[in-house]
A and B are shown apart, each in its own frame.
Chain A
Amino acid sequence: MTSPLLEVRDLQVAYGGIRAVKGIDLHVVPGELVALIGSNGAGKTTTLKTLAGLLHPASGQIQYAGKSLKNIAAHQRAAMGIALVPEGRGVFARMTVAENLLMGAYSRRDKIEIASDLARMYELFPRLAERRDQLAGTLSGGEQQMVAMARALMSRPRLLMLDEPSMGLAPLMVQKIFETIRDIAALGMSILLVEQNARLALQVAQRGYVMESGAITLSGAASELLGSDAVQRAYLGA
C-alpha cells in the first residue's frame, strides 16, 4: 500500500469548551476520492477547516505528504498544495470569473503555466468560459460552485477538499457538479469530499467515513457503506 498523502490521528477540535471533533482518524491515499459523510452538526466542516488550518486542533496529529502540519498557517498549507473549496462556495463576489480563477493561482509565479491552466479550466467548465467577464456574485449557485472548484484547481493542489458542494443547488446542477468531481478524480487528483448527500457522495467515492456527533462511527469501501444497513437506515432513508 502506498503511503497516505493525508493522515489524521486522534484529531480533537473544540470551540471554547465544546468538543466538536472528538478524536478521529482518517487518511487519504494519493489519487483516491474519499467521502466524509454525516448529518448536520456531525463535525465534518470543522474537520475540513482544521485540515485547512483555519481552526486549531486541541490535540492530535495531521500528517501531509509525510510532514506534520502542526503550527503551519492556512496560507502556507495552501502553498503546500492543500486546496479548500469552502462551504457556501466563498467566491469573490465583486470580481469577475476570470479574476476569481486567477486568484486561485495567487501562490504560483509561473505565468505561462497559469495561462494554460486557465484555458484548461475553461475546457473543464465551458459554462465559466462563457461567463468569464461576469461578476462571480451574479452567477447562479451551481455556476458559483464551478468557480470555487476551478479556482481551487488553479492552485495545482495535491489534495482537494470540497465542503458540501451540493449545498443549495438544484438537483440537475447537483448531478452536474458530481460528474465534474468524478472527472477531476479521474485525472488522478486526491479528493476529500464532505457531503450531506450520502448516496451521491458514496457513489463517486472509493472509500468513505461516516461521522456522527464528532466521532467516526463507520468506515470502509464506498460500495460496502452504500450497501450497509446502518448507512441505509440513517442516511439513505431506505
Chain B
Amino acid sequence: MPNALKKFLKRGGKHQQRLAIGLMLGALLLLPFATDALLGRGWVRIVDFAMLYIMLALGLNIVVGYAGLLDLGYIAFFAVGAYCYALTGSPHLALAFPMAFPDGLHLSFWIVLPLAALVAGGFGVLLGAPTLRLRGDYLAIVTLGFGEIIRIFLNNLNAPVNLTNGPQGISRIDPVSVASVLLNSTQNIFGISLPSVHLYFYLFLAFTALVVFISQRLEKSRIGRAWMAIREDEIAASSMGINTRNLKLLAFAMGAMFGGASGALFAGFQGFVSPESFSLMESIMVLCMVVLGGMGNIAGVILGGVLLALLPEILRHIVVPLQQALFGKTLVDPESLRMLLFGTALIVMMLYRPAGLLPSRVRRRELDTDEAAEKV
C-alpha cells in the first residue's frame, strides 16, 4: 500500500501531492472530534502528548539522525524549556524573590517561548562545547550525565534560594493564550464549542507542522549536508572546508532549541512541572522514537513518536478489559506488559528492520544494495 501510494504521488506530480497534503491536514483538523466520537473524551489529551513527543523526537533527530551525535540526555533541554516557562509564567518567583516579584512574574507565553528556546539552545552549546572531541559511546555517557545533572539540579535548587521548588515542582503555571484567548477553558469559535484539550491540540499541531517544516528545510540545506558529512567522516568533512566545531555546536543548539520550545508548550499545557517528568527513561523513550521510526527520516521519526506515545494508552484500554472478560480479573497490569512488549518490539526491530520502520532514503538504499550484493 505505501508503495502504491508513493507511485500514485510520483505520477500525479505536484498537484496531487498538494491534494494529498491538504487532505491529510483536513483529517488532522478533524482528528480531535473523531477521537471524541469514536474512542472517548480522554483521547485528545493523549494525542496532545503524542505531539509533544513528536516535536521532541524531531529535535533529537537533528542531533542524532543528521549530525550523528548520540545524545542520551536530551530530555534535559525539554526540562530547561519547561522550567523557563514555569518560572516566568507563574506566581512561583514570589517565593524566591518576594521583594522583586510580589506576585511572581507573569510574562506572556509568546515572549517566553523564544526565550525558552534560546536558553535551551544555550544549554545545548554548554553541553556541546566540552564534548566536541567525543564520539559514540563516550559522548553518550557524557550526555547521559548531563541529563541527570539538570534533573538533580531541578530537584535540589529549592535551597538556599527557592528557585525550582524542589521535588514538589512548580504549579499554577499560566495557560497559553493566543490572541487573548486563554487555552485552559472551553471556547466557542464560529459556533463550535472547543474544550481546552482541543485548543491545545490545534496549537501543538501548528507547532509540529512548523518543526516538520524547519527539519525538512534543514535536511536539504548546506548546513544539513555538512552535518551528514560530519556524521560520515569528521576528518574528511573538515578537509572539505566544513567548520566541524561550529556545526556540531549548531546541531546541539538547534536540537536543544526544539526541545526547549516543546518544554515551554508542555509547561503551559500541564500547568505544572516537576523534576520527575524529566527522568533518564524519558530521554531513552525519545531516542527510541527516533531509532524505531528511522533515524534521519522525518516521516519515520513522526511514526515512531506516534507509536511509542500511543502504545501505552492503547494497551491500557485493550489489555485490562480483555483480561477482565477472559479471566474475570487483571492478571498483568498494562504498565509491565508495556515494557515487555516494548522490549520485544525493539528486539524484533533490530532483527528485521535494523534501519527503522521508515528508513531514511540513504539507509534504505544502503540495505537494498547490500541485498543486491548478496544475491550476486
The contact of A106 among B231, B240, B366, B373, by CB within 8 Å, is: B240
Binding site for A on B (CB under 8 A): 222, 225-226, 228-229, 231-233, 235-245, 362-363, 365-366, 369-370, 373
A103 and B225 within 8 A (CB): yes
Residue of A nearest to B240 (CB): A106
Give which listed residue, A92, A102, A134, A135, contacts B236 with CB less than 8 A: A92
- Chain A residues near B362: list those with CB within 8 A: 94-95, 135
Given contacts A95-B362, A103-B225, A106-B226, A54 and B369 within 8 Å (CB-CB): no
Q: What separation, in Å, do the CA atoms of A151 and B222 have in the docked complex?
A: 16
Given A138-B366, A138-B369, A138-B373, answer yes or no on A92-B241 (Cβ-Cβ < 8 Å): no
Q: Quick one: CB contact mask for A52-83 with B, threshold 8 Å, 1 for yes?
A: 11100000000000000000011110110001
Q: Which of A107-157 contact B (CB under 8 A)?
A: 107, 134-135, 137-138, 148, 151-152, 155
Query: Are B233 and A90 touching (Cβ within 8 A)?
Result: yes
Chain B residues with CB under 8 A of A94? 228, 231-232, 362-363, 366
Most chain A beta carbons < 10 A, residue from B222, B243, B363, B373: B243
**B370 partner residues in chain A, CB cutoff 8 A:** 138
Which of B228, B243, B363 touches A75 (beta carbons < 8 Å)?
A: B243
Is the CB of A91 closer than 8 A to any CB of chain B? yes
12 contacts across the A-B interface (CB closer than 8 A): A53-B238, A54-B235, A86-B233, A90-B239, A91-B232, A91-B233, A91-B236, A94-B363, A95-B362, A102-B225, A103-B240, A106-B241
Q: Which residues of B contact A236 (CB under 8 A)?
A: none
Interface of B is mostly: helix
Inter-subunit contact A104/B232 (CB<8 Å): no
The distance in angstroms between the C-alpha atoms of A155 and B362, with both chains bound, is 24
Q: How far is the CA of A74 from the CA of B362 in the complex (A)?
A: 28
Residues of B within 8 A of A152 (CB): 239
A84 lies within 8 A of chain B by Cβ: yes
Q: Given contacts A90-B236, A91-B236, A92-B233, could you give 17 more A-B pairs where the C-beta distance is less than 8 Å?
A: A54-B235, A54-B238, A54-B239, A73-B243, A74-B239, A76-B241, A79-B241, A84-B239, A92-B237, A93-B233, A95-B228, A106-B222, A106-B241, A135-B365, A135-B369, A138-B373, A151-B240
Which residues of chain B come closer than 8 Å to A75, judged between CB atoms?
Answer: 238, 240-244
- A residues neighboring B (CB under 8 Å): 52-54, 73-76, 78-79, 83-84, 86, 90-95, 99, 102-104, 106-107, 134-135, 137-138, 148, 151-152, 155
The docked-state distance in angstroms from the alpha carbon of A135 to that of B365 is: 8
Nearest CB to that of A154 among chain B residues?
A: B240
B residues within 8 A CB of A78?
238-241
| CB-CB under 8 A for A107 and B240, given A94-B362, A94-B366, A135-B365 | yes
A52 touches B233 (CB 8 A): no
The 3 closest A-B pairs by CB, nearest first: A107-B241, A90-B236, A78-B241
Question: How many Å from the CB of B366 to the closest CB on chain A?
Answer: 6
Residues A155 and B240 in contact in the complex (CB < 8 Å), given A94-B362, A95-B228:
yes
Residues of A within 8 A of B243 (CB): 73, 75
How many Å lie between the Cα of A39 and that of B128 in the bound state? 38
Give, as a whole number of angstroms, the nearest-CB distance from B149 to chain A: 30
Q: Contact at B232–A86, with CB atoms within 8 Å?
A: no
Closest to B373 in A: A138
Task: Among B225, B232, B245, point to the contact of A93 (Cβ < 8 A).
Answer: B232
Q: Which residue of B222, B229, B369 contacts A92 across the interface (Cβ within 8 Å)?
A: B229
Alpha-carbon distance A137/B238, docked complex (angstroms): 19
Q: In whole Å, how far is A90's beta carbon from the nearest beta carbon of chain B?
A: 3
